[in-house]
Amino acid sequence: MAIMKTAYFYGGSDIRVVEEEIPKPGAGEVLFRVMSAGVCGSDLHNYRGHRTREGAPWQQGHELSGEIAAVGEGVDGLEVGMRVGIEAEHLLGCGTCRPCLDGQYHICLNRGIRHGVRQSSHGFSQYDVCVAENVVPLPDRVSFDAAALVDCYACGVHATNRVPDVDGQTVAIIGAGAIALTLGQVLKSRGAERVVLVGTRKHPVEVAVSAGSADVGVVSSESDPVRAVLAVSGGEGVGVTFETVGGQNQLIQQAVEMTRRGGVVSVLGLFTKPQTIDPALAMEKEVAIQWSNSFSSWNGRSEFGEALELLGAGKLNPEPIVTHHFGIDDIAKAFATADDKRSSGAIRVVVKPWE
Distance CA 308, CA 318 (A): 11
CB-neighbour burial class of residue 289 (10 A; exposed 0-12, middle 13-18, buried 19+): middle
Stretch that binds Zn ion, among 33-41, 71-79, 261-269, 307-315 (CB under 5 A): 33-41
- Considering the rule CB under 5 A, would residue 270 count as an interface residue with Zn ion? no
Stretch that binds Zn ion, among 99-107, 250-258, 278-286, 302-310 (CB under 5 A): 99-107
Distance CA 177, CA 137 (A): 27
Among residues 108, 147, 192, 316, the one that binds Zn ion under rule CB under 5 A: 108
Among residues 17, 82, 94, 270, the one that binds Zn ion under rule CB under 5 A: 94
Distance CA 327, CA 350 (A): 9
Of 40 and 328, the one with the shorter C-beta distance to Zn ion is 40
Of 130 and 256, the one with the shorter C-beta distance to Zn ion is 130
Minimal distance, residue 101 CB to Zn ion, in Å: 8
The bridge status of strand 194-199 relative to strand 216-219 is parallel
- Sequence-distant (6+) residues with CB within 8 A of 251 are 174, 243, 245, 269, 271, 275
Q: What is the largest CA-CA distance in the chain?
A: 67
- Considering the rule CB under 5 A, would residue 100 count as an interface residue with Zn ion? yes
For residue 237, CA distances in Å to 158, 260, 322 come to 23, 4, 31
Minimal distance, residue 88 CB to Zn ion, in Å: 7
Report 36-55 residues binding Zn ion (CB under 5 A): 40
- Considering the rule CB under 5 A, would residue 107 count as an interface residue with Zn ion? no
Stretch that binds Zn ion, among 75-83, 105-113, 255-263, 267-275 (CB under 5 A): 105-113
- Considering the rule CB under 5 A, would residue 93 count as an interface residue with Zn ion? yes
- Considering the rule CB under 5 A, would residue 97 count as an interface residue with Zn ion? yes
The radius of gyration of the chain's CA atoms, rounded to the nearest angstrom, is 20
Size of the site for Zn ion (CB under 5 A): 6
Distance CA 286, CA 25 (A): 51
Minimal distance, residue 152 CB to Zn ion, in Å: 6
Taking each helix axis from N to C end, the angle separating 251-258 and 225-232, rounded to the nearest 10 degrees, works out to 20
Minimal distance, residue 28 CB to Zn ion, in Å: 18
Which residues of the chain form contacts with Zn ion (CB under 5 A)?
40, 93-94, 97, 100, 108
